Amino acid sequence: MEVRASVCPHDCPSTCALEVEVHDNARIGAVRGAADNDYTRGVICAKVARYAERVHHPDRLTQPLLRTGPRGSGQFRAITWDEALDRTAEALTQATARHGSESVWPFYYAGTMGLVQRDGINRLRHAMRYSRQKLTICTSICEAGWFAGVGGYRGPDPREMAKSDLIVIWGGNPVATQVNVMTHVTRARKERGAKLVVVDPYRSGTAAVADMHIMPRPGTDGALACALMHIAFRDGWADRAYMATHADCPEALEAHLAARGPEWAAAITGLPVAQIENFAALYGATKRSYIRLGYGFARSRNGAANMHAVTCLATVAGTWPHEGGGALWSNRGIYHWDKTLIEGLDVRDLSVRAMDMSRIGAVLTGDRTELGTGPEVHALLIQNQNPLAVCPDSNRVRRGFAREDLFVCTHEQFMTETARWSDIVLPATMFMEHDDLYQAGGHTYLQIGPKLIEPPGECRSNHAVICALAHRLGAKHPGFEMTEWEMIDATLRASGWPDAATVRARRWVDAAQPFAQAHFLDGFAHADKRFRFAPDWNALGPFGAAMPKLPDHFAIVDARTETHPFRMVTAPARQFLNTSFTEMPSGRARERRPTALIHPADADRLGIADGARMRLGNARGEVVLHARHFDGVQPGVLVVESVWPSEYYEGGIGINALTSDDPAPPAGGAVFHDTAVWARAEAAALAQAAE
């Protein structure tokens, strides 16, 4: 047995440096966090610590498959790789010949975060002029909200949290989704007596261990941030000298906030005035306060406005210049990659149609707002994504996948819902079975994750499949002639980093910026170096015109009504990551079953017993799950931790049947936590259906 270095590839900002026990180049044993990486610090989440269960799972796909029964039936027969690739290339060629190249839509996201295996599909897309994909499902709302004020995707080093006196985790649950944040928070609490405040609409695992949990209604974070800034101006802790040199319009902001005090915010957020005042007093008294922004609170129609409002708070308080102070969403902008080879950016044509991935249901059912004047989509090539389970309005997605004139090839590790609805299924490697290159949003290291073991059966990497298809399709690009390792090496060199052999030998390279740059001492990342209280939302996306000029409560959420009296949040489950890990029995056992957290007062009023079946619904669909009485939400709020595959719900309809594919302004984005629903005891729902 040897212990070898690796990198976690999953869709998680921590991108942990790993140590993996390897047996005979064929099997892995225990997986641990690298103790000598000063961000990972030897800590990883439980689901990756058990990774051997996933790698050596008996249900791994190991052979190419051809559909033999009706779509979605799960009836397939094994075929050779040559036949699978020939059939796929033929289907893509036929779609192009009949309907034009834009009728083919390569579709991907973050099943792996490795740059080569994740993004190489774009090289084929651009070389063949297939439809482009707007990457909206996770980050586009956060991106806009953060960029609006700051002007770049970077911020104070997250390792500085250990030197903070106050850490505010706003709209995230790192205990479940980014465990290393808690390592640094714990150090700050132990060594400095730092306080932890969590802002989240439910008592998550992180909120449960906080010194103060602020629990606003979903989608009201902008109002809370405005009230905190109002108090800053009112009580004299607004840093006027800092704003005078580093912000665009502090006087206009102060005047605007005059009418947005704690009473105003209390009515919108449902928070007690006294709690808003207490939070403000703590924040205002602490210059070393670090706001760690999560993704969760941005998954709302007003998410970008809310994220911008929270970044404004750090600017009003003037915390950015202080060690352990400021705010961070992601450090993704510090790596200066040249991804020309990986993505084929030199053959990209921006006049080729781009469609919103979060609206794949609309695309596949002929919605012209996405298709424009171009052809309908007749062929999908899918890697690293499970759109039938994770994309919004999933009943509509399913109607799209049911089209008989649609060809679908999915390259996957397990028989996911999307794979089951495909014509061709190709078996994919996992991260320890191929080479790749990683950056992190949650820290500052770039790393190489080398191949450690041979894959099972006939599994092939994403890169291998893309190159093999390119050769059959006649696509030309140097990247199709390179190995993964050559691609990593060339990309590192082109981006100004050490070569691949050096990075592998060093295990990681720290891309952290100097303190002055990371803390914006020399100005923010806009051309005029000033933080923007009044951003140019129109410049950030096509839907920016309606957004508030200054931080505000942007009242465009899917509001509660008499017929839909609940606001539903689909927070991530601790044992799952999107739909990855749902195949592991140990994780499923811990999560038990799809469950809605409901306030006991709501449950009693509706006659829903603790543990009973209940039904949720809206105009898009209905799902059946089980209730858990939980006083860690405000009345009128439901939390469904997911993403469970649909087959675990009664009736086979998963939670995204209820979520909307409305694009969030200014640039689109999935609004997973912004859903009005009705809720009923299942018996009552059945009775009504029978009437």
Residue 275 interacts with ligand SF4 (CB under 6 A): yes or no: no
Question: Do 680 and 688 meet the contact criterion of CB atoms below 8 Å apart?
Answer: yes
* Dist CA 415 CA 403 (whole Å): 20
- Both tokens of 131, joined, read 């439809």
CA distance 655 to 301: 18
Closer by beta carbon to ligand SF4, 10 or else 60: 10
Q: Kindly indicate which of the ranges 41-49, 89-97, 257-265, 649-657 contains the residues binding ligand SF4, using the contact rule CB under 6 A.
A: 41-49
Closest contact distance (angstroms) between CB of 44 and ligand SF4 is 4
Minimum CB distance to ligand SF4, residue 352 (Å): 34
Give the nearest distance from C-beta 49 to ligand SF4 in angstroms: 8
**Distance (Å, rounded) from C-alpha 283 to C-alpha 231?**
11
Question: With respect to ligand SF4, which residue has the nearer C-beta, 19 or 558?
Answer: 19
Q: Using the rule CB under 6 A, which residue among 5, 20, 34, 48 binds ligand SF4?
A: 48
- 3-class SS at 548? coil
Token readout for 523 is: 């100005």
Of positions 6, 10, 290, 591, contacts ligand SF4 by CB under 6 A: 10
Amino acid, res. 156: P
Tokens of 597: 């957290």
Using CA atoms, how far apart are residues 77 and 10, in angstroms rounded to an integer? 30
For residue 153, give Cα distances in angstroms to 145, 173, 385, 468: 11, 21, 25, 35
CB crowding 331-349: b at 16 or more within 10 Å, else e? bbbbbebebbbbbbeebbe
**C-beta of 15 vs 286, nearer to ligand SF4:** 15
Cβ atoms of 272 and 320 within 8 Å: the answer is no
Is the Cβ of residue 44 or residue 305 nearer to ligand SF4 in the bound state?
44
Query: In this structure, are residues 136 and 517 in contact, taking their beta carbons and an 8 Å threshold?
Result: no
The answer to whether 104 contacts ligand SF4 (rule: CB under 6 A) is no
Among 5, 12, 55, 473, binds ligand SF4 (CB under 6 A): 12
Q: How far is the CB of 580 from ligand SF4 (least distance, A)?
A: 9
Of 40-48, 312-320, 443-451, 566-574: span binding ligand SF4 (CB under 6 A): 40-48
Nearest CB to ligand SF4, comparing residues 10 and 359: 10
The smaller minimum CB distance to ligand SF4, of residues 178 and 220, is found at 178
Interaction between residue 44 and ligand SF4 (CB under 6 A): yes
Query: Pick from 14, 131, 385, 675: which binds ligand SF4 (CB under 6 A)?
Result: 14
Residue reference for tokens 């007596």: 193
Range in contact with ligand SF4 (rule: CB under 6 A) among 11-19, 309-317, 428-436, 562-570 = 11-19
Q: Which residues contact 8 (CB under 8 A, 6 or more apart)?
A: 14, 15, 16, 18, 44, 48, 431
- Please state, in angstroms and rounded to a whole number, the distance separating the CA atoms of residues 250 and 390: 41
Helices 221-235, 250-257: crossing angle, 10 deg rounding: 110
**Residue 430 in contact with ligand SF4, rule: CB under 6 A:** no
Q: Which stretch binds ligand SF4 (CB under 6 A): 6-14, 150-158, 214-222, 238-246?
A: 6-14
Single out the residue of 6, 15, 386, 575 in contact with ligand SF4 (rule: CB under 6 A): 15
Query: For residues 168-207, which are near ligand SF4 according to CB under 6 A?
Result: 179
Is residue 331 involved in binding ligand SF4 (CB under 6 A)? no
Q: Which of residues 566-595 bind ligand SF4 (CB under 6 A)?
A: 577
Beta strand spans in 298-349 (E): 326-328
Q: Catalog residues that contact ligand SF4 under the rule CB under 6 A.
A: 8, 10, 12, 14-16, 44-45, 48, 179, 577
